[in-house]
Chains A and B, each alone.
Chain A
Amino acid sequence: MKLSTLTALAVTTALVAPAAIAEEMTIVSWGGAYTKSQKNAYHDPYSEKSGITIINDDSSAEAVAKLRAMNEAGNVTWDVVDVVAADAIRLCDEGLAMEINPDEHLAPAPDGTSAADDFGDLIVSDCFIPQIVYSTTFGYRTDLVGDTPPTSVCAVFDTEAYPGKRSLEKRSINNMEWALLCDGVAKEDVYDVLETEEGQNQALAKLDTIKDDVIWWSAGADTPQLLADGEVVMGSTYNGRLFSVIEEQNQPVAMLWDAQVFDLDGWIIPAGLSDERKQRALDYIYFATDTQRLADQAKWISYGPARASSAPLVGQHADLGIDMAPHMPTDPNNAKNTFLYNYEFWADYRDDIEAKFQAWLAK
């Protein structure tokens, strides 16, 4: 028995040791088609260039909690983390992410524009390196909506014209805004109304009218699955997921771009890395967020690159060969009526409204 344990340890050493010699870097992201697009556009070229092996960890959904725990345990195993802007703001406030100086750490645009200007307003936090603009929007089954496909987001609340289940995200953000918009509140007033107790109740009352017809999702892959099954008539999810359902999987689904909510996603580097790892992470970031790399990512997924200088370089889908520009949330045809996610509002009111929303859900 003792002998076999020793053998086992020897075997482990033999198997693990070679892997440990190569330099490794753990990059955390969302998984699925999104990680695949990053792998194709950033990881693979970077590994080729630098010889560093990149390990993907699909843990972005719980990045904040995990980074807190890792920090407490004094053992941060992640090198670069992909998070939404709101999480980046939180991590930055808590000192869990490293502050970035765009002009020092990020590549300038090919025409010499500084990185800070190239990213512009999208740098919403000192720690946040924007990567993509995505939107949360609706898709619907073309074969289940009859002869009048929906053109407005309010179709979601119209169970008479469009009977059947719809899927909405199991959280207050976005749903509250859409509810108010469809309850007659003007777009520019939405957050003013939502600040008040009555406004929140108004939104919940509107959601109440369709509560029995809603399937609540929590993972980005849920709505595509439900749509493919025909279990829901329409549902909200990230536009890239819908693109994949429509163009790559050829499902009878179409986009409803009306009142799509723009949001940002990007990188942060965890605070407290050793100098060597920090240097490596910064080197990766410099490479992965230059103008060409960001434009490359759009070959695999329909998210808009965060740099102004990348937009003209967006080309065709790598496998399907279709133009990607018309599928970008930022394309003028799709962005006729958009809604900008208000970070400051949600930073202040999130806990409050979320608690109310969850209580309403449980009722």
Chain B
Amino acid sequence: MAALTPISRKPLSLVLPTVAAAGGLLGLFVGTANGSGFMGIVIGAALIAAMAFVFITILKNEQVSKWISIVLFAAGGFFFAGIPAMILGLVFGWLFHWFIYWLYEGRYRAKVLPYLTPGQVLWHYGFRVICGAIFVFLITPILVVMPLSFNSQDFFTFTPEMLQFKAEGYSLKHYKDFFSNNEWQRSFKNSLLIAPIATIISVSLGTLAAIGLSQSHVPGRRAIMAIMISPMIVPLIISATGMFFFYSDIGNWLEGTLGLPKNFVGYVKVILAHSVLGIPFVIITVTATLVGFDQSLTRAAANMGADPVRTFFKIQMPLILPGVISGGLFAFITSFDEVVVVLFVGSASQKTLPWQMFTGLREQISPTILAVATILVGISICLLATVELLRRRSERLRGMSPT
């Protein structure tokens, strides 16, 4: 369908207001940064509209106007905020020039079906803009953290040195702090201890529960299911309060009657509490994979003399493994990310990474938190990528085409 649609030049009455609106949007940001958002909108809109008018009616040369636009914006950026803004200006100059000609020449019509109405064309592009905006809003908060974690100051601030890309504005000292500070190291180790064990417990129990609940002869399946996934639905702060008192009693009993060391009991309490939070995720994902599982396979296995345990590990487990793994991932992330329950149930010796970040944010706004966040994002990406690669590999081995 590409390029089949004939394109024609558009009237100025369409081009000018549209580019003015775009210019106003940019002007809003520049204006807000320089004191007055409203003035920014007006000036931005007027400037871009004037530029478009000159390009279209007077210059009539696309290449020349492109360079004029880029140089103008770069100079403007340099005037406002130095070299980094100049680089931004280069990008915006090219962008606005492209936008003006894209509209004026009617190029936006070239790639869409010829019979679409203007409204449908608008929606075609509007939809993409909305999708892009959602993406930007999802990702920017994560990305913004990364350069800030290399800040050479102890504040969440883009310093002038950073914005001018000077080396002294950046440092690795917050990473050094994370790796050398006892508190951070201890909480990191705690997280690495608590999360995997809680995950293993929730995966074992959750998978068993899901298999049991998928049997049609179990009475009251729905009610049991509802109770088991309730930790996911009940507000966390409420479960946490309940768990605090519940596990306090268990803890007192373990310490008092069985004489277990206090520290060990603390870990047991937190691990159990996190397992409870993780179980619903495992149940839900495993139940979902079990829907597609052919129960006659287990009967066939039984028919050939395999006992239920063997059937489970040889037949059922490999087939539902993707669900188990993704449930396990969720359980792991739940425990690794969890701050409310551990604040209630744990004591300071069980301080996990999120707890340390939470108190760090409240008491001392230190970019070490951002360094940790950056490291965690890195770990998460590696983890997810590994799981995805393993999944593809196993599919390839089983002769399925990766999707």
Contacts and interface: CB of A to CB of B under 8 A. Distances in A.
A binds B: yes
Interface residues of B, number: 40
Interface in A30-71: 30-33, 55-59, 61, 69
Contacts of B349: 19, 24, 26, 55
Contacts of B264: 12-13, 16-17, 20
B244 interface: yes
Given A221-B363, A224-B365, A249-B155, A77 B348 contact: yes
B200 A16 contact: no
Contacts of B200: 4-5, 8
B157 A73 contact: no
Given A74-B248, A219-B363, A220-B363, A57 B351 contact: yes
Contacts of B156: 225, 229
Nearest to A20: B261
B364 A31 contact: yes
Contact of A12 (B183, B271, B359): B271
B245 interface: yes
Contacts of A220: 363
B332 interface: no
B263 A224 contact: no
Contacts of A11: 197
B347 A8 contact: no
B252 A75 contact: yes
Contacts of A9: 197
A95 to B, nearest CB: 19
Contacts of B252: 74-75
A90 B348 CA distance: 23
Nearest to B186: A55
B265 to A, nearest CB: 9
A7 B347 CA distance: 25
B363 A249 contact: no
Nearest to A30: B363
B360 interface: yes
A30 B347 CA distance: 16
Given A1-B204, A8-B197, A249 B244 contact: no
Contacts of A33: 364
B362 A8 contact: no
Contacts of A19: 263, 349
Contacts of B366: 32
A216 to B, nearest CB: 15
B201 interface: yes
Interface in B162-201: 183, 193, 196-197, 200-201
B267 interface: yes
Most-contacted residue by chain A among B208, B262, B365 (CB, 10 A) = B365
B153 interface: yes
A16 B249 CA distance: 21
B363 A32 contact: yes
A251 B154 CA distance: 10
Q: A interface, by DSSP: helix, strand, loop or mixed?
A: helix
A9 B362 CA distance: 34
Contacts of B157: 225, 228-229
B149 interface: no
A228 B158 CA distance: 10
A15 interface: yes
Contacts of A229: 155-157
A220 B366 CA distance: 12
Contact of B362 (A4, A77, A219, A251): A219
Contacts of A32: 363-364, 366
A48 B382 CA distance: 41
Interface in B185-237: 193, 196-197, 200-201, 203-204, 207-208
Interface string A245-285: 00001010000000000000000000000000000000000
B197 A69 contact: no
Contacts of B153: 228, 249
Nearest to B198: A8
Contacts of A58: 359, 363
A78 B157 CA distance: 36
Interface string B267-286: 11001000000000000000
B251 interface: yes
A126 to B, nearest CB: 27
Interface of B: 153-157, 183, 193, 196-197, 200-201, 203-204, 207-208, 244-245, 248-249, 251-252, 261-264, 266-268, 271, 347-349, 351, 359-360, 362-366
Interface of A: 1-2, 4-5, 8-9, 11-13, 15-17, 19-21, 24, 26, 28, 30-33, 55-59, 61, 69, 72-75, 77-78, 219-222, 224-225, 228-229, 249, 251
Given A224-B365, A229-B156, 19 more contacts: A1-B203, A2-B204, A11-B197, A19-B263, A20-B264, A24-B349, A32-B364, A57-B347, A57-B348, A57-B351, A58-B359, A61-B362, A69-B244, A73-B245, A73-B249, A77-B347, A221-B362, A225-B156, A228-B155
16 contacts: A1-B204, A4-B204, A5-B204, A12-B193, A12-B197, A12-B268, A16-B263, A16-B264, A16-B267, A19-B349, A31-B363, A56-B183, A56-B348, A57-B347, A75-B248, A221-B365
